Structure 1
Amino acid sequence: MRGPDRVGGLAVLKDMLKNDLNRPEAQLAIARQQLAVDDKDGAAQSLKQALQIRPDYLPAALMLSQMGPAERAAGIASFEKYVQQNPKSRDARLALSQLYLADDRLDDAQKQFETMRKLDSKDPTPLMALALIKIQQKKLDEATAYLKQYVQLGDKQPNLDVGQGYIYLAQIAIDQNNDAQASQWLDKVDQTSQHYLPAQITRAQLLQKQGKTDEARKVLDNLPITDPRDAAVVARTDASILFTAKRYPEAEARLGQAVQDFPDDPDLRYDYAMAAEKTGHYTTMEKQLRELIRTQPDNPQAYNALGYSLADRNQRLPEASKLIDKAMTLAPNDAYIMDSLGWVKYRMGDTAGAAKVLRRAYELQPNAEIGAHLGEVLWKSGAQDDARSAWRDAQKLEPDNETLVQTLKRLQINGL
């Protein structure tokens, strides 16, 4: 009933608006109904028609921009035209900036945010946006400067909650190995801030980084939790702290309880599976990943995790290969899934194919575990100098990586 009714509704709407089709509002209404019946091409055409009638009609431009990369270009063009004609329109300039970000045009977005900043020095939005762009560009000193300006607005605007700014400042300080400064930034997030919980989670992670596992967990234990969603986040963070400390049985127990409490949380279920693998509870691991695949059939990480675990244990290799192939189909440019693909090829005897895939994975994401796998494949294929080179590079990235250390020990490689 629902499908035919909606299609019929489109026909009725078109008939009602037949004398108003030269109005952009009419084309927008038709486009909305076309999307409701999954006629994306028709909706795009109606929206383009609306913009032909009125190039600066922002509702049509915004809807068109959200339909895909090709349509986004037309939407951006309309917004650009409108902003040129209305340079003081904050909302239009902000929307244009967001479209640039969606199109990965960081420099263009930055110019718009800088203009917004000049137009209104009291507006916090462009400062935060510019800081995030600089973080993405790994220009952390510039990001810090913008964030400091952002939090300073909190002194002048009492209703402005700048807690998020302090958290980003703390995270930058952590990345720069300035733990004391990070702690000082976090101290500035008041309990009344809506960002107090993420600030305390960041504090717990900072303490874990310093090896203070129990102290980190106490921070989480002392949090006043009322929202079940927050409880799930805290449980996952607590388990992550235990996992990082290699207290795998405790992490598994914590996550097992959390999955019972929050059975619809896919992140908790995935983490539970990973903890179960670490303790050798492979039946539990597989059960959790199978459930994740059932409820999220387009989740590449679930297929990859199960496929890799089977390949790593040299079990059910044809099935492992199919699972990893499925993951690759869903996420073809994921370096970690490529690593799994290379590893299962190696387990199945295709060392040449494995080396090719692993080299590609390492190029995409230089990572100690991928480097360990690449080194082993090269070693077994007789390219021992290349293998040592791969392992040396991996050691530079993460000398204590568990996979790397175990690989060198198992192959009795004493010096690189």
Structure 2
Amino acid sequence: MLCGMLAACSGMPRDNSGEAHEPWLPLAEGHLLPLEIDDNGVADLFYELLVGEIAGHMGQLQVSVAHYLRAAQRTRNPEVAERATRIALFSGDPEAALPGAERWLALEPDNQEARQVLAALLVNAGRPEDAAPHLLQVLEYLEAMEGEGLGPLVNMLARSQQGDAAVTALTLVAQARENDPQAYLAVARLALRQDLPLTAVAAAEQALVLDDHLLEAHVLRARGLVQAGDQAAALQAMDQLVARYPDDVDLRVTYARMLLQADHYDDARRQFEQAVQSRPGDADLLYTLGLLNIEVAQYEDAQRYLERVLQTGRRIPEARYYLGRIAEATGQPEQAIRFYEQVSRGEHRHESRLRAALLMGEMGQVTHAREELSALRQRLDDPIERVRVYLAEASLLRNIRDYWAGMDLLDQGLREYPDNLELLYARALMAERLERIDQVEADLTLILDQDPDNPAALNALGYILTDRTDRHEEAYGYIRRAYAQRPNDAAIIDSMGWVLYRLGRLEEAEIYLRRAYDLMEDGEIASNLAALLWDMGAQQEALDILHRALEREPDHERLHRLRERLVP
């Protein structure tokens, strides 16, 4: 951490070449002579230097630091103190680096790198009052040399793990420049980065006392309020600010993004729309509006904005991908495929190929879809992404009820990635469709061997044992463990109701099954609730639930089997 701080703050070169020193380089020949010796003799000095060098090359950095620090006290040559400091930092010992940096600066008081290093070390040691004078001098030097110093100073201090000390030190610098609102603005920035939101609010307010027209201070104050948990006050402040500066598009966009973070989608959309009126060709604004309209299911508006993105010539792959998503969501699979196939680069290119292939499969082009998925899998290097394609293809085969092909595919995947939990789970579900209960139990047991509390595996194993075997007490144990972890999961609640039904505990089962059905009107849950109600004598309600479920899912196998049993 400290090495990172020092690297961040050293805008000044470390030697005449402008290159930073390597962690361990021997002193160049001649650098040790002549040395100005204090009063302990040349022999002692050379002993410390020699042992320090040898220890360093042998990897005994603590020994090297100790000898170099002693050498630094025996000579007025600043290079020795600098070397002691750097070795201490490289060895991860900031406490040892601190006396080295103090000696370095004492011997070379005009060396601004030495001053930066010492300031960072003092902050790291929790001594902000001692660090502040050095930071102030560093700031003045940077401003003289580069015209701006507060930004580099904030970047340096933001790396400190002593956040309170870093902010306190910069606050002392700001107080020394009491009429500079930019200094308090820097404190606010640093405080937000160090997760001290109330301090950021106070610093931003102090900057506004000095200059009420400082827009960044208003924004930082609002962000501090959000970070502190007072979202309403932050949004109110930003709303007033936008009303005060209605022509500032960047300010309006900042407000819109805050509204998005607060899930105020309609208000955010209105702000973005006003911003687009001022910048009609801004691809980023148009793209954001497109995504925002997708989020609220306003697909026509989303499509209009994304088509305008294409006209700008920017963000084309992203716009085409989301136009594909819109076409898919609105029931236009062929158009969706066309958009997806045009996404040849960017972060969505693999996802586009995957979605296009799955849509082909749904349209009956199964062979072509599988060829596309296989080709995509071969192009991918990431095991996680390759497994994802296996799972997508398996889902396609399961949906078209080609369970044997699905088993073959998942067997292939598991040969490539043995014991992968997702592939095992998918194969267990596929095996259940083939009524290979031994395979189901073996795969789910393998998952539970690796992850004993896996709620999905516990629930699946419990449900299948309930539904396909007479091992209902054992099944109840698995489902109860899953329910303890996810008491609000509709599928697990349904399993609990179903196993209680099979155990003959009908009144308890009804409570769980009705609750599951209220949470999710799924065909599987509907069939279980209908079967229970029929056996409890509520035949008409059972038939009503069954018929409504078939209207929603006319191809659901389990619902059809139940109807055939209840209404021969």
TM-score, normalised with respect to structure 2: 0.57
Asked if residue 225 in structure 1 is aligned to residue 379 in structure 2, the reply is yes
> Is contact 2:200-2:224 (8 Å) kept?
no
What is the CA–CA distance in structure 1 between the aligned matches of 2:219 and 2:552, rounded to whole Å?
48
2:296 alignment counterpart: 137
2:266 alignment counterpart: 107
Per-residue displacement from partner, 1:65-102 (whole Å, max 9, x unpaired)?
578xx465566556556655665666665554444344
Q: Based on CA coordinates, which of the two structures has the bigger radius of gyration?
A: 2
SS in 2 for 1:222: helix
SS in 1 for 2:486: helix
Per-residue displacement from partner, 1:247-300 (whole Å, max 9, x unpaired)?
223323323443454569654454344334434212333134315635xx6x65
* Paired residues for 1:216-255 under 5 Å: 216-223=369-376, 225-228=379-382, 229-255=384-410
Distance 1:288 1:60, change over 3 A: farther
What is the CA–CA distance in structure 1 between the aligned matches of 2:513 and 2:285, rounded to whole Å?
41
> Is contact 1:368-1:401 (8 Å) kept?
yes
1:394 alignment counterpart: 549
1:364 alignment counterpart: 519
* Paired residues for 1:150-165 under 5 Å: 150-151=309-310, 153=311, 156-157=312-313, 160-165=314-319
Asked if residue 214 in structure 1 is aligned to residue 214 in structure 2, the reply is no
Q: How many residues align?
A: 383
Distance 1:137 1:17, change over 3 A: closer
Distance 1:47 1:260, change over 3 A: farther
Asked if residue 321 in structure 1 is aligned to residue 445 in structure 2, the reply is no
Task: Give me the CA root mean square deviation.
Answer: 3.8
1:196 alignment counterpart: 349
Distance 1:242 1:29, change over 3 A: same
Corresponding residue to 2:307 among 132, 148, 153: 148
What is the CA–CA distance in structure 2 between the aligned matches of 1:79 and 1:268, rounded to whole Å?
49
Corresponding residue to 1:290 among 448, 459, 470: 448
Deviation at 1:242, TM superposition (A): 1.7
What is the CA–CA distance in structure 1 between the aligned matches of 2:441 and 2:451, rounded to whole Å?
15
Deviation at 1:392, TM superposition (A): 0.7
Deviation at 1:390, TM superposition (A): 0.4
Deviation at 1:318, TM superposition (A): 3.2
Deviation at 1:380, TM superposition (A): 1.6
> Is contact 2:527-2:558 (8 Å) kept?
yes
Asked if residue 173 in structure 1 is aligned to residue 327 in structure 2, the reply is yes
Deviation at 1:383, TM superposition (A): 0.6
Gaps of 5+ in 1: 34-42
> Is contact 2:198-2:224 (8 Å) kept?
no
Amino acid aligned to 1:181:
Q
Asked if residue 50 in structure 1 is aligned to residue 205 in structure 2, the reply is no
> Is contact 1:58-1:79 (8 Å) kept?
yes
> Is contact 2:480-2:496 (8 Å) kept?
no
Amino acid aligned to 1:380:
D
What is the CA–CA distance in structure 1 between the aligned matches of 2:422 and 2:249, rounded to whole Å?
37
What is the CA–CA distance in structure 2 between the aligned matches of 1:196 and 1:238, rounded to whole Å?
17
Q: Which moved more, 1:253-262 or 1:369-378?
A: 253-262
What is the CA–CA distance in structure 2 between the aligned matches of 1:256 and 1:57, rounded to whole Å?
60
Amino acid aligned to 2:266:
D
SS in 2 for 1:366: coil
What is the CA–CA distance in structure 1 between the aligned matches of 2:479 and 2:237, rounded to whole Å?
47
> Is contact 2:427-2:440 (8 Å) kept?
no
What is the CA–CA distance in structure 1 between the aligned matches of 2:241 and 2:423, rounded to whole Å?
45
Per-residue displacement from partner, 1:188-226 (whole Å, max 9, x unpaired)?
x15345533222212211111122222210122333614
What is the CA–CA distance in structure 2 between the aligned matches of 1:92 and 1:372, rounded to whole Å?
55
Deviation at 1:403, TM superposition (A): 2.5
Q: Report sequence identity in percent.
A: 27
Asked if residue 182 in structure 1 is aligned to residue 336 in structure 2, the reply is yes
Per-residue displacement from partner, 1:354-387 (whole Å, max 9, x unpaired)?
3333333333332222222221121121111000
Amino acid aligned to 1:165:
A
> Is contact 1:274-1:285 (8 Å) kept?
no
What is the CA–CA distance in structure 1 between the aligned matches of 2:497 and 2:527, rounded to whole Å?
12
What is the CA–CA distance in structure 2 between the aligned matches of 1:86 and 1:381, rounded to whole Å?
68
TM-score, normalised with respect to structure 1: 0.76
1:124 alignment counterpart: 283
